[in-house]
């Protein structure tokens, strides 16, 4: 069992304090000191009696903290943080600023096993899952250095639903009113399409926004771009999304990276419309962001706008997500491009 108190839900903290002869309410105090007040040392939790603080320390309990090894800022205001995990692993997080909206794109794994052809992170391969503490601490570190985060998107390094338990725990921690109290609709989980996990998510007691990285309208092309499609082809994936939407009753986002000459024709748009018209959804068209060693090119403004117009005319809400943070390799698909030898 992990001894990291930052990695515990209020219920888990209750078990820790009550089995040591303390009152149950003290669990809430520990949670608040860590996740609201930002305390990083058990001995600083002043609401606990000194003897109990000492007991926790003696028994090996601690409060973890990510080490920020690098901070880069793009001319457009985008900020990228690099964190050392202490075991040789490295992750990155990105703050995107749009007026008063400050969105943090967080990582859920060190590296990634999905090996999507257009993504730099996949070239790192999977090193390990992050703990819930390491996931939420990306938010705390970014806030400490740059101010309040209003929205969190699980779209950084790694596949969130391949680290299901830690990701859901982190969402509960971030959403908890005794902690950062980030609204559940201000948390978005993005997945490459792990169908069973999408169905499982539908049965949870909390439902962050769901985003599906689709990127192709046919199985042949999607499997070339995203090997996960060989295991969970488009029909299986969309059936899982339909199950999710039937239970949750919320709009789903489909993400579509625009790659020149590959998935950006009007015929591709028509195929995409046929796939998605049964859903209450919106489509985010993402400009492809090149990185060292990449073999693709972005579709460009004209082709992207034409594609967007075609989908919009079919009654599907569509938004073009323009490049941000590209000079510091902070744009979608670029995380890990200038670290760990990539």
Same domain, 14 and 159: no
Which of the two residues, 1 and 32, has the higher pLDDT score? Answer: 32
Q: For 254-307, how does the pLDDT look when each residue is reduced to its tens digit (9 = 90+)?
A: 999 999 999 999 999 999 999 999 999 999 999 887 777 778 898 999 999 999
Nearest-angstrom CA–CA distance, 59 and 72: 39
Same domain, 43 and 133: no
User: Which CATH number fits the domain that encloses residue 11?
Assistant: 1.10.150.530
Q: For 93-107, how does the pLDDT look when each residue is reduced to its tens digit (9 = 90+)?
A: 999 998 889 999 999
The residue segments making up the domain with residue 179 are: 67-328
Same domain, 38 and 165: no
Mean pLDDT of the region 175-185:
97
Q: What is the pLDDT of residue 341?
A: 43
Number of domains in the chain: 2
* Residue 5, pLDDT above cutoff 70: yes
Nearest-angstrom CA–CA distance, 338 and 325: 13
How many other CB atoms are there within 10 angstroms of residue 166's CB atom? 20
Confidence label for 321 from pLDDT (cuts 50, 70 and 90)? confident
* Residue 334, pLDDT above cutoff 50: yes
User: Which CATH number fits the domain that encloses residue 232?
Assistant: 3.20.20.70
Tell me which of 119, 192, 308, 332 is the catalytic residue.
332
Residue 135 domain flag: yes
Same domain, 216 and 243: yes
Q: Is 92 a catalytic residue?
A: yes
Nearest-angstrom CA–CA distance, 124 and 79: 22
Residue 335 domain flag: no
Residue 124 domain flag: yes
Same domain, 37 and 142: no
Same domain, 140 and 24: no
Mean pLDDT of the region 14-36:
97
Q: What is the pLDDT of residue 301?
A: 93
Residue 164 domain flag: yes
Same domain, 43 and 190: no
* Residue 333, pLDDT above cutoff 80: no
- Domain closes at, from 41, 58, 75: 58
Residue 337 domain flag: no
Give the residue among 45, 89, 46 at the shortest CA–CA distance from 69: 89
Which of the two residues, 266 and 339, has the higher pLDDT score? Answer: 266
Q: What is the pLDDT of residue 69?
A: 94
Nearest-angstrom CA–CA distance, 59 and 139: 28
Mean pLDDT of the region 55-71:
97
Q: What is the pLDDT of residue 125?
A: 86
Same domain, 45 and 98: no
Same domain, 71 and 49: no
Give the residue among 163, 73, 75, 147 at the shortest CA–CA distance from 113: 163
Q: What is the pLDDT of residue 148?
A: 95
Give the residue among 213, 284, 276 at the shortest CA–CA distance from 245: 276
Tell me which of 14, 92, 255, 287 is the catalytic residue.
92
Same domain, 251 and 154: yes
Are the beta carbons of 264 and 307 closer than 8 angstroms? Answer: yes
Same domain, 15 and 159: no
Confidence label for 313 from pLDDT (cuts 50, 70 and 90)? very high
User: Which range is least confidently modeled, 9-18, 93-102, 265-274, 316-325?
Assistant: 316-325
Same domain, 100 and 191: yes
Q: Is 332 a catalytic residue?
A: yes
DSSP 188: E
């Amino acid at each position: 069992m992990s001894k990291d108190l930052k990695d515990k839900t209020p219920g888990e903290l209750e078990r820790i304090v009550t089995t040591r002869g303390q009152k149950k309410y003290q669990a809430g105090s520990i949670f608040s000191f860590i996740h609201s007040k930002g305390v990083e040392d058990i001995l600083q939790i002043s609401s606990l009696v000194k003897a109990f603080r000492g007991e926790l320390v003696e028994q090996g309990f601690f409060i973890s903290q990510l080490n920020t090894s690098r901070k880069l800022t793009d001319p457009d205001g985008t900020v990228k943080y690099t964190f050392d995990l202490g075991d040789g692993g490295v992750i990155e997080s990105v703050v995107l600023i749009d007026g008063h909206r400050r969105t943090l794109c967080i990582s859920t794994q060190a590296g990634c096993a999905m090996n999507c052809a257009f993504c730099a992170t996949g070239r790192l391969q999977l090193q390990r899952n992050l703990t819930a503490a390491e996931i939420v601490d990306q938010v705390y570190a970014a806030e400490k250095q740059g101010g309040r985060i209003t929205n969190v998107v699980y779209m950084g390094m790694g596949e969130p639903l391949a680290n299901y338990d830690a990701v859901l725990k982190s969402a509960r921690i971030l959403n908890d009113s005794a902690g950062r109290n980030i609204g559940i609709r201000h948390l978005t989980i993005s997945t490459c399409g792990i169908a069973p996990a999408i169905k499982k998510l539908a049965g949870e007691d909390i439902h962050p926004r769901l985003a599906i990285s689709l990127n192709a309208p046919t199985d042949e092309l999607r499997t070339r771009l995203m090997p996960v499609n060989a295991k969970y082809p488009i029909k299986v994936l969309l059936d899982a999304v339909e199950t999710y939407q039937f239970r949750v009753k919320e709009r789903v986002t489909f993400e579509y990276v625009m790659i020149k000459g590959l998935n950006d024709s009007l015929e591709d748009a028509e195929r995409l419309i046929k796939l998605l018209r049964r859903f209450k959804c919106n489509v985010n068209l993402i400009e492809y962001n090149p990185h060292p060693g990449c073999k693709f090119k972005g579709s460009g403004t004209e082709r992207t706008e034409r594609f967007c117009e075609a989908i919009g005319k079919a009654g599907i809400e569509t938004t073009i997500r323009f490049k941000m943070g590209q000079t510091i390799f902070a744009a979608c698909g670029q995380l890990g491009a200038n670290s760990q030898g990539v």
